[in-house]
Amino acid sequence: MIKIFKVGLIAGLFFLFQSSSVSAQDVNRNRLKLGLENAFAVGDYSELYKWGIGFSFSLEKSLADKISLTARAGFLSFSKQTNLGNGKLKRIAEYVPVKGGVKYYFGPKIYGEAETGMSISSKNTNMGISFIYSPGVGVEFGLGGRMKLDLGFRYESWIKNTSSNFLGLRTAIVLGK
C-alpha cells in the first residue's frame, strides 16, 4: 500500500512540475490533490459497516477551459463495533480504490464530476475486485499562491455480487493551477 502511494506521489509531483512552465493565461489545469476521505455507509452496506476513513491522491489534467480528466487512487478503511458473546470485536475492512473520470467546472470554484474504476479489497472481506461508479460535486477555495482547498461530496457504489454504497466527503489540498 505504501509503495502504491509513493509511486503515485512521485508521478504526481512530476506531473505538477511539468505543468509549472505553463503561462498564467493558458487554460491548462495540471493539479495534484492530496486528500482525507470520509465515507458514511448507506443501504445494506450500513448493516456491516457504519463509516470509513482514509486518504487519496489525485491528478487532474485539463482538456478544455471547463473540462478535465481525473485519476485517483487511495486507501479506505471501514470499521464497526460488533458484539461477540461477552466481548466486542472491531471489524475492519480495507480497500484500495483506483478511479478515473471527467470533471466539469460550472464556474471558477464549483464543479461536478463522474468517476469509474475498481476497488481492491485488502483485508477482512471477500469482495476481491469490485466495479466503482461515483458521481459528485465540489467547491475549491483559494489558500494563497497556487494552493487551494477542495471540498467534495459524492455518492459511491462498489459492485461485485452485491453493491456496497456510501456517501463520501473529501477534503484535499490542491497543488498546481
The CATH number of the domain holding residue 65 is 2.40.160.20
Domain count, the chain: 1
Range of the domain at 114: 2-176
CA 48 to centroid of chain Cα atoms: 22
Name the percent of the chain in helix, strand, coil, to the closest 5.
15, 65, 20
Dump pLDDT digits (tens) for 134-143. 999 999 998 8
Residue type present at position 91: R
Taking the C-alpha atoms of residue 158 and residue 164, their distance in angstroms, rounded to an integer, is 5
**Residue 124's pLDDT is what?**
60
Confidence band for 86, pLDDT divided at 50, 70 and 90:
low
pTM of the full structure: 0.77
